[in-house]
Amino acid sequence: MDQTESRRTRITTVIEHIMEQQRAHPTATGEFSVLLGGLTLATRMISASVRRAGISGVLGPTGEINVQGEVVQKLDELADQTIQRCLGCRGSIGILASEEVADPIGLKRKEGSGKYIVIYDPLDGSSNIDVNVSVGTIFSILQRTGVGNDPDSLTRDVLQPGTKQIAAGYVIYGSSTVLVYTAGAGVHLFTLDPLIGAYILSEENVRMPEAGKMYSTNEANLASYPEGIRKYLAWCKTPEAGPFTSRYIGSLVADFHRTLLKGGVFIYPATAKAPQGKLRLMYEANPMAFIAEQAGGMASDGKQRILEKEPEGLHQRTPLIIGSKQEVQRVCDMCSE
Ligand code: AFP
C-alpha cells in the first residue's frame, strides 16, 4: 500500500489525532490530550442521553431558572453534571466554568498542576430538545495565568480574550454525532461511531467557503435590528445580490455547523429584547470565532473582531456575525456606513 492510499484508508481516532498534533510541540506534556479525552468521554455520554431522551424520562424542564434567567431543561442539568464528573478529576484542569453555573469553579490541585481552564455550554439550543432538533456542547480552553483559588482570582483567570484560547470545539448531536475542534492548527471533524464508541476522523483541515449565498438570522426580530443589518438583509433579497436562501434553526451549534460546511453568514445582532445581543461571548461566540478563523472564515460583533473583545463577565453577551469572510465583511461594511 503506498502512502497516499494508506492515508486514505487509515482510521484515526480523535485521541490519536490530538496526540499526533501534540507531538509537533516539543514542550507538550500529554496533559492536554488527557483533558480532551475527558471532554470526548463526556460528550459520548451526553450523546447517549440525547439519543434516548424520549424513553428515559429526561425530556422537559427541571422547574429551575438558571443564572441567565432561562428555563433549565433536565438534559441541560444532566449534561452539565456529566462534564463536571468527567473533567473534575483530570489533574490538568484548574478551573471549570459553565453556562449553568454563576461563578467559575476552582478545583483544588497539587502545586504546578491544574494549568487549564475549560469554559463550556453543556447543551446549547436546549429549548429545541423536546422537538428533536439538533443541539450541541461547546467548549473553549484557556491556560491559567494565576494560582489563587479565591473567587476574584478565578474570575480574573477566566476573563481572557478569545485570542488566548488554546483550543475550542463543539459536538453536534444531530443526525449523527460530530465533533469539530481546533487547537490552532486547522479545524478537524470527527464522527462518532456509536457501535464502537469512538470519534473517527472524517475530515481534516476543514475550510469554510470564502463566500456563500445563505443567511441565517431570526428575522422575526428584524424591526429592532441595527440599520446596517437591515440594509444587508434587504440587499440579500435584491436581484443584484443573486439568489440567496435563508436557513435558521435557532440552535447555534446547528446553524454554525451548516455555515462552516456550506458557507454564508449567521447573524445575531443586538435587538430590542437583547440590547447586548443574546449569545454569550465566553462559551458561544469565542469558541465559534476561533473555529471560523481557523477554517478561513471571520467573526465580528459588527464593530470589532470577536476574538479581541476584552471580556467583563463570564456570562457576558455579544452581537455575533460569523461565517464566510466575504459575507461577514459585507455585513460589517454596511454596519459602518
Ligand atoms: P437555548 O439554549 O435556550 O435554546 O438558546 C439557544 C441560543 O442561545 C442559541 O443556540 C441560538 O442561536 C439562539 O439562542 C436562538 O435564539 P432565538 O430563539 O432568539 O432565535
List the one residue out of 125, 57, 120 whose CA is nearest residue 86: 120
Task: Give the closest residue (by CA) to ligand 1 atom 6.
Answer: 125
Q: Is 265 helix (H, G, I), strand (E, B) or coil?
A: strand
Cα distances (Å, whole numbers) of residue 286 to 102, 107, 146, 164, 168: 19, 23, 21, 10, 8
Task: Give the closest residue (by CA) to ligand 1 atom 13.
Answer: 250
| The pLDDT of residue 3 is above 60 | no
| The pLDDT of residue 1 is above 60 | no
Q: What is the pLDDT of residues 93-113, one digit of tens each?
A: 999 999 999 999 998 777 767
Q: pLDDT band at residue 6, thresholds of 50, 70 and 90?
A: low
Q: What is the pLDDT of residues 113-149, one digit of tens each?
A: 789 999 999 999 988 888 999 999 999 999 999 888 8
Q: Are 78 and 58 in contact (CB under 8 A)?
A: yes
Which grid cell is 76? 441541560
Q: What is the pLDDT of residues 210-220, one digit of tens each?
A: 999 999 999 99
| The pLDDT of residue 246 is above 60 | yes
pLDDT of residue 65: 85
Task: Give the closest residue (by CA) to ligand 1 atom 12.
Answer: 252
Q: Is 8 helix (H, G, I), strand (E, B) or coil?
A: helix
| The pLDDT of residue 45 is above 80 | yes
Q: What is the pLDDT of residues 277-327, one digit of tens each?
A: 999 999 999 999 999 999 999 999 999 999 999 999 999 999 999 999 999
pLDDT of residue 57: 80
Mean pLDDT of 172-199: 96
Q: What is the mean pLDDT of the chain?
A: 92
Q: Are 25 and 39 in contact (CB under 8 A)?
A: no
pLDDT of residue 127: 81
**Higher pLDDT, residue 67 or 136:** 136
Q: pLDDT band at residue 63, thresholds of 50, 70 and 90?
A: confident
Mutate to test the pocket of ligand 1, among 77, 252, 255 (most ligand atoms within 8 A of CB): 252
Q: pLDDT band at residue 257, thresholds of 50, 70 and 90?
A: very high
Mean pLDDT of 16-43: 83
Which residues have C-beta atoms less than 6 Å from ligand 1? 70, 124-128, 218, 250-252, 255, 278-279
- Ligand 1 atom nearest to CA at 220: 20
Cα distances (Å, whole numbers) of residue 29 to 94, 113, 278: 16, 11, 38
List the one residue out of 147, 154, 169, 146 whose CA is nearest residue 36: 169
| The pLDDT of residue 67 is above 90 | no
Q: How far is the CA of 285 from the centre of ligand 1 (A)?
A: 12
The residue type at 162: G
The residue type at 296: G
Mutate to test the pocket of ligand 1, among 65, 99, 127 (most ligand atoms within 8 A of CB): 127
pLDDT of residue 314: 96
Cα distances (Å, whole numbers) of residue 158 to 45, 62, 93, 304, 314: 26, 28, 12, 21, 7
In the 8-state DSSP scheme, what is residue 305? B
* Neighbouring-strand partners of residue 170: 138, 180
Cα distances (Å, whole numbers) of residue 203 to 9, 30, 200: 13, 23, 9
